[in-house]
Structure 1
Amino acid sequence: MATNSSLSSSFEIISSLRFDPGLPEAACRYASSYPEHPNSPYYLLGYHQARLRAAANHFQWDGALNWLKQDLQSFEKFIDASISDRSKAWRLRIVVNSEGEARVEANPTPSIDIMSLFIPPLQTNQSSPIWRVYIDTQPTTPSGFTTHKTTARDEYNSARLRAGILSPSEPAEVLVVNSGGEIMEGSITTPYFLRDNVWFTPPLSSGGNAGTTRRYALSQGFCQEQTIFRDQLVDGELCWLSNGVRGFMRGQIVAK
């Protein structure tokens, strides 16, 4: 039987976010509806730190929790060291182990319409590609590994393969579903569905992740929480998707 220490060393907690040199100027224009310091090029950085703290607390990782208790300015300074060219956009993956040892994996990421980083009512570019959104054919069991983002992502990777999504660059997503038929979340995004002229996102009780853009959307009143069942989704219906690297994207349900 695996011990608690061996279980702790078998995965790490993570959070992925965007560094974008165009964010500060745009955030200053919309400071009243953007919850972060407008001068930071890190998208929703405080929410990412809070998300990592919540994961460390859940898994009872005292070393990680102590490291994550540093102030936001120090946290940002730590991440700064991973940016080799501040004139470009980067996809950053913050990785923290149970002992509080952290690293940042930085990869160049394509430029996007900067307005995509703000909640959809502020969206100006409606010509962006529509993502194909599939529904997983097998259930996923909710656990600490679905509520919190970790490197233990086999279930999400399997769901993507079942949907035929072979590359992370594809404009495609798959919705993971619990055994009760409730939509939990997307494999890499938070989904939002329109019902009676109100946007809804699945509640955390369905088993999905407490994402940073999800928190942002809820805080700004863009959406409310409501249980969404897979049999309520209609082929061709439009939805929104969001994550900490790409912001908000349009999606369309593809019911196979």
Structure 2
Amino acid sequence: MASASTTAPSFQIISSLRYDPDLPKVTSRNVNDSSYPAPADSPYYLLSYHRDRLINAARHFEWDKAIDFLQQDLVSFEKLLDGSISDVQKPWRMRIAVDCNGKGSIEVNPTVAIDPLNLLIPSLHSGIQPTIWKVFVDSQLTTPSGFTTHKTTARDDYTAARVRAGITSPAETSEVLVVNPDGEIMEGSITTPYFRRPIAGDATEPVWVTPPLTSGGNAGTSRRYALTQGFCVEQLVTKADLVDGEECWLSNGVRGFMRGVVVLSR
């Protein structure tokens, strides 16, 4: 990862989440009290996980003022976000950014309309989706650092990986997997990937697995949700393990869970 001064005003820790007015209806009808993180009636997707993620990043960079700002209660945190929503009837992509001085900002942009069921783990819905994402593998290696294990504005390596994969727009339904120097899949450039794999030493049916954080990727919010609800387990996935045409899942805090297919040759 390109070097970045963690005390520069331009360097921030970030988290992107979805505002969706239909989310509370989906969580109330399709999950029980323990299968979605509180507050389950919030239109902000995985709200508490996003706050936790930012706090963990602030702790990593030893930003005391940012920690103080982020440790406000969830009711106050949600009210802070409410002030940025211009139309409560539409879904929005929100980007929360916090600097070393504890100054927070919120960027709000329109986002694609999706079936809100896709915000739940796949085992809670049919998984029928009209769009299948193409999942490429980066041709170069990325060295893990605090800028990969935490989401920040230092995104040069991810941007470069997307360019190498020919992904030119955030609107494209394509993703590229980032690989560490040991040949292990770290994560996607904007998503967490999940692959169907047998568990080592276990003769039972294959299960969904996601790369462990020791491979260098980010502790994403939808990843935490998937692990907490038992949709997947952690297991090393190497570039050599991937099979051209194999199906996978992808997830992030704005689009929820998306079907994908690995593309190794083109």
Q: What TM-score does the superposition give when structure 1 sets the normalisation length? A: 0.96
Q: CA deviation at 1:38?
A: 2.3
The unaligned stretches of length 5 or more in structure 2 are: 199-205
Q: CA deviation at 1:31?
A: 3.3
The unaligned stretches of length 5 or more in structure 1 are: none
Moved over 4 A (4+): none
In the alignment, the residues of structure 1 paired with residue 122 and residue 153 of structure 2 have an alpha-carbon distance, to the nearest angstrom, of 29
In the alignment, the residues of structure 2 paired with residue 210 and residue 182 of structure 1 have an alpha-carbon distance, to the nearest angstrom, of 16
Answer whether contact 1:19 1:43 (CA < 8 A) is retained: yes
Q: 1:198 aligns with which of 207, 210, 225?
A: 207
> Partner of 1:115 in structure 2?
117
The code of the aligned residue for 2:28 comes to: C
SS state of the match for residue 183, structure 2? coil
The worse-fitting range, judged by mean Cα deviation, of 228-237 and 8-17 is 8-17
> Partner of 1:152 in structure 2?
154
SS state of the match for residue 173, structure 1? strand
Q: CA deviation at 1:110?
A: 1.5
Answer whether contact 2:18 2:45 (CA < 8 A) is retained: yes
SS state of the match for residue 43, structure 1? coil
**Residues 116-165 of structure 1: per-residue CA shift (max 9 Å, x gap):** 00000122351321000000000000000000000110000000000000
SS state of the match for residue 8, structure 1? coil
The worse-fitting range, judged by mean Cα deviation, of 116-125 and 170-179 is 116-125
> Partner of 2:45 in structure 1?
43
> Partner of 1:224 in structure 2?
233
Q: CA deviation at 1:39?
A: 1.5
Mapping 1:18-37, distance limit 5 Å:
18-32=18-32, 33-37=35-39
Task: Give 1 or 2: higher helix fraction.
Answer: 1
SS state of the match for residue 56, structure 1? helix
In the alignment, the residues of structure 2 paired with residue 41 and residue 127 of structure 1 have an alpha-carbon distance, to the nearest angstrom, of 22
Mapping 1:11-90, distance limit 5 Å:
11-32=11-32, 33-90=35-92
**Residues 145-202 of structure 1: per-residue CA shift (max 9 Å, x gap):** 0000001100000000000000000000000000000000000000000013200000
Q: What TM-score does the superposition give when structure 2 sets the normalisation length? A: 0.93
The code of the aligned residue for 1:13 comes to: I
SS state of the match for residue 7, structure 2? helix
The worse-fitting range, judged by mean Cα deviation, of 29-38 and 237-246 is 29-38
SS state of the match for residue 176, structure 2? strand
Q: CA deviation at 1:108?
A: 1.0
In the alignment, the residues of structure 1 paired with residue 195 and residue 7 of structure 2 have an alpha-carbon distance, to the nearest angstrom, of 36
Q: CA deviation at 1:36?
A: 2.5
Please give the root-mean-square deviation of Cα atoms over the aligned residues, in Å: 1.1
> Partner of 1:241 in structure 2?
250
Alignment partner of 1:215 is 2:214? no
> Partner of 2:100 in structure 1?
98
The code of the aligned residue for 1:22 comes to: D
Answer whether contact 2:16 2:254 (CA < 8 A) is retained: yes
Answer whether contact 2:39 2:47 (CA < 8 A) is retained: no
In the alignment, the residues of structure 2 paired with residue 244 and residue 25 of structure 1 have an alpha-carbon distance, to the nearest angstrom, of 18
The code of the aligned residue for 1:210 comes to: A
In the alignment, the residues of structure 1 paired with residue 148 and residue 233 of structure 2 have an alpha-carbon distance, to the nearest angstrom, of 20
In the alignment, the residues of structure 1 paired with residue 20 and residue 129 of structure 2 have an alpha-carbon distance, to the nearest angstrom, of 21
The code of the aligned residue for 1:30 comes to: N
Answer whether contact 2:12 2:99 (CA < 8 A) is retained: yes
**Residues 24-68 of structure 1: per-residue CA shift (max 9 Å, x gap):** 111111332222322210000000000000000000011101100
Alignment partner of 1:166 is 2:168? yes
The code of the aligned residue for 1:199 comes to: W
SS state of the match for residue 109, structure 2? strand
The code of the aligned residue for 2:237 comes to: I
